[in-house]
Chains A and B, each alone.
Chain A
Amino acid sequence: MIRTPAGDFAVPPDGNVVALQTWLHALQSSAALFHWRQDRAGIDLACAIPVAEQPNRARLKLFAPDMGVMVAFFYKESQVPFSTDRFAYGAMIHRRCAPTESECAASVVWMLSGLHPEQRPEGIKRAFPFDIPR
């Protein structure tokens, strides 16, 4: 489920709304807990389930870089507080289509593992031509 500080998500009007809703539904209905971080661009979610007794560093950012396109970007933030570095793990790009249920489920499992390289779902693009908003 997603724990939101207040209110609902504002769905970007120019993005791929169906893809976004599919993601949100998958995350809401999963047993894992995600925190929505409202100070970040897009819909930015932090996985709250620890990995090996350490805080889980997995992050998911859903954003619309272009009309009809939605990107699910997986990343970790720096564990050094003064650093603004981000560690990209790849993205799923949905152009006028929605993710499948199994894609979403595999992504949740991957986030629960702390983005372990051997748990990476299929369909993750490792290089993509979008700037990732902060």
Chain B
Amino acid sequence: MGCALSVAPSVATFLSMSTPRRNPCELEIDLFCHGVRMDVSCCIAEDGRPVARTRAGLGSGLEIIIPGNLKDLWVNVPVEEDFVRSSPYLLRKREGRYEVTDARNGEVYVLRLPTEPRWYEGTTSAGTRMREVGVLQGTYLGIYVSNSCMYWYGEPAKNCRFCTTGFNVGVNEVAEKSIEDVVELAQRAKDESGVTFVHFNTGYQKGRGLQQIAPYVKAVKERVGALIGVQAVPPRDSSGLWQYDWLRDLGADHFSFCYEFHTPEVFAELLPGKEETVGQQAFFRAMEYCQARMPKGACSGEIIAGVEPVAATLAAIDYITGVGAFPTVCIFRPVVGSDMEHYPSPRYEDMLPIMRHMYVACRRAGIPIGVAPNIEVSLIVNPDDAQYLVPRTPAFHLDRLWLRMVKLLAQRHFKRAMRPQQVRGTLKPAQLSTMSRP
């Protein structure tokens, strides 16, 4: 396989030597904002995971691990976008190990590349390539159960403006995922990659997204055993919220709510499909409903930082943690092919206080972070990644001790939840027959 080529930026771009050395989380944020160029010495095809764009397109980056003394950080670093060409960061392989060099100050950071799972090149019994069914994003298995999102169909398309899901049909992923394929994949990923968390996601399905995911949840919980996350556009009104209870009975452990932008006007402008079909309040209603019935931090509110004003993102974090959910804060990536491709990548200086605030808000709200076993999401700055951003005071160390105890106590619960088990729910609850067709 070929090695990577380097595209050198102008040296004049990096005249400033005032950039200090980054700690692991600062480096993670900086890499999200700038991306990384690759030196000719890199042989990612042999040493790392393949770069493949699936789902909304964010997985287009290079998976790396930044080692740290508090925890290692998983990052999916942009490599495909045009802004990467002027990144100060250069990845190279030297004496058998990978490192990035910051051209602004000459600092060198040693990294690890997670290897490609063997099952990526495997096929299911039906002959489907496993990596076209689901991919690892960090340490969890992400499965986009149906690659179609109805927001993409129709004239004009009402897709979320940062998203490229509709462009992946028939290009990088199979369009429909069979239950058998998914079960086989989840089992391989659990056995060979130590996956503990399987995340199911679907695009807008005219109000049927949660129902579409239901059989996959049940099958994986019963036949494989894993922590299971679900993400779909929520019901338009409260009459559909029972579906979350139903999915919990089928084995769902986690729900995430991608409302992306806190400012209603930005939500309406950049998420025209969501605005027209359900509205921003539907996300809030569903998140509040679920979180009120589940342990703290079992739900997450997903937002994008770097598009709306910083104050709005901080307000979003306060709202999400106030509900008891944990904030999943993604740094905006102007993904190749998206409507927002020409937007600038966010500034490091803006993202840093956001991530610090995320950590502080989680701890203030008593949301346990970093407690679930082996769940590292590479597309975001995980809340516990941001512990590198706060001062190491006695209170900080006490808090870490407390979190470690919580993690220890929660181990039994998670172990039980990750066993294959008969679920309580059925795939045809009575409420389904009374649901009106959209």
Contact of B342 among A57, A81, A118 (CB under 8 A): A118
Q: Are A130 and B170 in contact (CB under 8 A)?
A: yes
Which among A54, A76, A80, A88 is the interface contact of B51 at CB below 8 angstroms? A80
Find chain B residues with CB under 8 A from A87 CB: 53, 80, 164, 167, 336-337
Q: Is the CB of B38 within 8 A of A80?
A: yes
A8 on interface, CB distance cutoff 8 Å = no
Report A43 CB to chain B, min CB distance, Å: 19
Any A CB within 8 A of the CB of B401 = no
Query: Which residues from chain A contact B43 at a C-beta distance below 8 Å?
Result: 82
Question: Which chain A residue lies CB-closest to B157?
Answer: A126
Check B172 against A86 for contact (C-beta < 8 Å).
yes
Name the distance in Å between B31's Cβ and chain A's nearest Cβ. 15
Which listed residue (B51, B79, B171) contacts A132, Cβ 8 A? B171
Residue of A nearest to B61 (CB): A80
Most B CB contacts (10 A, CB to CB) among A89, A126, A127, A129 go to A127
User: In the complex, what residues of A have CB within 8 A of residue B341's CB?
Assistant: 116-117
Which chain B residues (34-92) contact chain A, with CB distance < 8 Å? 38, 43-45, 50-53, 60, 62, 79-80, 82, 84-85
CA distance A80 to B44 in the complex (A): 10
Q: Give A111 Cβ to nearest chain B Cβ, in Å.
A: 14
Residues B52 and A83 in contact, CB atoms below 8 Å apart: yes
**Interface positions of A from 64 to 93, Cβ below 8 Å from B:** 76, 78-83, 85-90
Secondary structure of the A contact surface, majority rule: loop
Q: Is A39 an interface residue (CB 8 A)?
A: no
Report chain A residues within 8 Å CB of B60.
85
In the complex, whether B266 has a CB less than 8 A from a CB of chain A is: no
Contact A80 B148 (CB under 8 A): no
Query: Are B80 and A86 within 8 A (Cβ)?
Result: no
> Distance in Å from the Cβ of A110 to the closest Cβ of chain B?
13
> Assuming A81-B3, A82-B50, is B169 touching A116 (CB within 8 A)?
no
Give every chain B residue within 8 A of A126 (Cβ-Cβ): 152, 157, 159, 166-167
Q: Which B residues are in CB contact (< 8 Å) with A88?
A: 164, 167-168, 171, 337
Partner pick for B52 among A85, A116, A117, A131, CB 8 A cutoff: A85
Contacts of A115 in B (CB 8 A): 337
From the candidates A82, A117, A127, A130, name the one contacting B166 in the complex (CB within 8 A). A127
Q: Are A82 and B1 in contact (CB under 8 A)?
A: yes
Q: In the assembly, what is the distance between CA of A54 and CA of B60, in Å?
A: 21
B-side interface residues, number (CB < 8 Å): 41
Taken together as a complex, chains A and B put the C-alpha atoms of A45 and B85 apart, in Å, by: 23
Which residues does chain A contribute within 8 Å of B340, judged by CB atoms?
117
In the complex, whether B146 has a CB less than 8 A from a CB of chain A is no
Chain B residue contacts of A127, Cβ below 8 A? 148, 152-153, 157, 166-167, 169
Cα(A131)–Cα(B62), bound, Å: 26
Q: Is the CB of A85 within 8 A of B337?
A: no
Per the bound structure, the CA–CA distance linking A89 and B80 in Å amounts to 15
Instruction: Convert B123-166 into 0s and 1s, putting 1 for each residue whose CB lies closer than 8 angstroms to a CB of A.
Output: 00000000000000000000000001000110001010000101
Q: How far is the CA of A80 from the CA of B172 in the complex (A)?
A: 16
Residue contact B167 to A81, C-beta cutoff 8 Å: no
What is the interface size of chain A, counting residues whose CB is below 8 A from a CB of the partner? Answer: 26
Q: For B50, give the chain A residue with the smallest CB separation.
A: A83
Q: B45 to chain A: which residues have CB within 8 Å?
A: 82
Main secondary structure of the interface of B (DSSP, over half): loop
A89 CA / B85 CA spacing, docked (Å): 21
Are A85 and B170 in contact, with the CB atoms below 8 A?
no
Contact between chains at B4 and A80 (CB < 8 Å):
yes
B172: A residues at CB distance < 8 A: 85-86
Question: Given the complex of chains A and B, what is the CA–CA distance between A131 and B339 in angstroms?
Answer: 22
Q: Is the CB of A117 within 8 A of B339?
A: yes
Residue of A nearest to B153 (CB): A127
Structural contact, B85 and A90, CB atoms closer than 8 A: no
Interface residues of A in 113-134 (CB under 8 A from B): 115-118, 126-132
B148 close to A78 (CB less than 8 A): no
What's the nearest-Cβ distance from chain A to residue B51, in Å?
4
Name the residue in A82, A88, A131 with the highest tally of chain B Cβ atoms < 10 Å from its Cβ: A82
A-chain residues with CB within 8 Å of residue B20 when the two chains form the complex: none
Q: How far is the CA of A96 from the CA of B157 in the complex (A)?
A: 24
Contact B80 A90 (CB under 8 A): no
B8 to chain A, nearest CB (A): 12
CA distance A78 to B5 in the complex (A): 12
Cross-chain contact B2 with A81 (CB below 8 angstroms): yes
- Closest A residue to B46 using CB positions: A82
CA distance in complex: A125, B85 (Å): 29
- Nearest A residue to B339 via CB reads A117
Residues of B within 8 A of A54 (CB): 82, 85
Which A residues are in CB contact (< 8 Å) with B321? none
Q: Which residues of B contact A (CB under 8 A)?
A: 1-5, 7, 38, 43-45, 50-53, 60, 62, 79-80, 82, 84-85, 148, 152-153, 157, 159, 164, 166-172, 336-342
A-B residue pairs in contact (CB < 8 Å), sample of 11: A57-B82, A79-B80, A80-B4, A81-B5, A85-B52, A88-B167, A88-B337, A115-B337, A116-B342, A127-B167, A131-B170
Query: Known pairs A79-B79, A89-B167. 16 more at Cβ < 8 A?
Result: A80-B4, A80-B44, A80-B80, A81-B2, A85-B53, A85-B60, A85-B80, A85-B172, A86-B171, A87-B164, A87-B167, A88-B167, A88-B168, A126-B157, A128-B170, A132-B171
